Amino acid sequence: MKDSDSSCTAVAPCSTANFGPGFDIFGLALDALQDTVTIKAESADPGRQNNSASLSRKDKLTISIEVGGEGSKIIPTVPENNSAGIVVKKMAADFDIRGSINVSVNKGVPAGFGMGSSAASAAAAALAFNELFGLKVEKSKLVEYAAEGELASAGTRHYDNVAASVLGGFVIVGSNRDQNLVFTSLEAPTNLVLVVAVPSMEVPEKKTGVARSVLPKAVPIESAFQNVSNASIIVAGFGLKNVELIAYGIHDAIVEPARKHLIPGYEAVKRKAQEAGALATTISGAGPSMISILDGEACGKSVASAMAAGFNEAGLKSRTFVCRPSLGAKIV
């Protein structure tokens, strides 16, 4: 939304990454929670691709960050350490935009729980900045800009969560031999329902790095075969709009076995969810949240209660969300 005060607001959904065997490749946007980012150009001229031409060459870029909402006290407000701030700084530099820019982030996605929190902020920031300054950047490039924001939380660029938040639906991240990125978005089956359980527990700072540190340096060829097969089945399931196929392929033979010990109640949550009617259950992103796949909403509440009971066995309270795939970030 652009207004007379030269501001624009965008929202971007949470997401689940990896989705079983698709480590760093698969992402799925979820309509459970979202981040809202408003960008205000306080002394710039939005709507021009090279607005610096209308400013004095003495003008510099200054970015201020305000954060509210879910876990706002732990979110950095230094632009270089904030996922939305990094995106704005990068886009402003690339398009030679100067002046004073305020970035207001209202967090709806909890940080550090495997729901793409930093990606949601980064995706909304990229979309809002693009709209405010009339840059007309195509969506695949916006995904790359949003990935800059992952430097704040993970220390490196990751595309699975940001691609899902920007594009919506089920996203496959790929690259060719020249390392050119390709983002393929597939519409989800209308009967695909997800249940996310978010445990209340302490998560380490830079949690993504911790979760990556436990991954094996080498894997048996049989495990690699199994993951390629299962990942292919998931893609086929989305292409054929078949929820049972998606659930069938969700088993991960490499990453999940290495990470499950980081999640108290992992086994109980999986067992109870499937006893309550879930077709499959896996870790959401790097965890500790877990996500179940359902065919329709009929057993959604039962599965949510069962997953909460599984975490409760480990002495953890949790929040649960029955949700569907999201269409992605949008201007509001």
Output the pLDDT for position 74.
83
Pair (164, 81) in one structural domain: yes
- Number of compact structural domains in the chain: 2
- 137 with 230, same domain: the answer is no
72 and 212 belong to one structural domain: no
Q: Is 283 left (phi over 0), alpha (psi -120 to 50) or beta?
A: beta
Domain boundary among 165, 186, 207: 186
Considering only residues 50 and 136, tell me which one the structure prediction assigns the higher pLDDT.
136
Residue 126: is its pLDDT beyond 90? yes
SS3 (DSSP) at 99: strand
| Predicted confidence (pLDDT) per residue in 270-312, tens digit | 999 999 999 999 999 999 999 999 999 999 999 999 999 999 9
Mean pLDDT of 232-255: 98
What 3-state DSSP class applies to 215?
coil
* Pair 273, 177 in one domain: no
Please determine, for residue 46, whether its predicted confidence score (pLDDT) is greater than 70. Answer: no
Q: Which of 285, 255, 99 is nearest to 88 (CA)?
A: 99
Please give the model's pTM, rounded to 2 decimal places. 0.91
Cα separation of the two ends of the chain: 5
User: For 47-101, how does the pLDDT look when each residue is reduced to its tens digit (9 = 90+)?
Assistant: 444 443 333 344 789 999 999 998 778 888 999 999 999 999 999 999 999 999 9
150 and 13 within one domain: yes
Average pLDDT over residues 112-120: 94
Average the pLDDT over 126-132 and give the result: 97
The region of weakest confidence among 65-74, 200-209, 218-227, 315-324 is 200-209
Rounded to the nearest 5 degrees, what angle is found at the Cα of 252, between the Cα atoms of 35 and 313? Answer: 70
Regarding whether 115 and 157 lie in a shared domain, the answer is: yes
Q: What is the pLDDT of residues 174-184, one digit of tens each?
A: 987 667 899 99
Domain with 138, as residue range(s), is: 7-186
Does residue 70 share a domain with residue 175?
yes
| CATH number of the domain to which 311 belongs | 3.30.70.890
List beta partners, residue 321.
196
Q: Work out whether the CA dihedral 105, 103, 136, 131 comes out positive or negative.
A: positive
Does residue 332 sit within a domain? no
Cβ 37 vs Cβ 73: under 8 Å: no
Listed residues 136, 153, 186: the one ending a domain: 186
List, for residues 21-31, the tens digit of each pLDDT value. 999 999 999 99
Q: How far apart are CA 325 and CA 125, in angstroms?
A: 21
Q: Are residues 164 and 250 in the same domain?
A: no
* CATH value at residue 152: 3.30.230.10
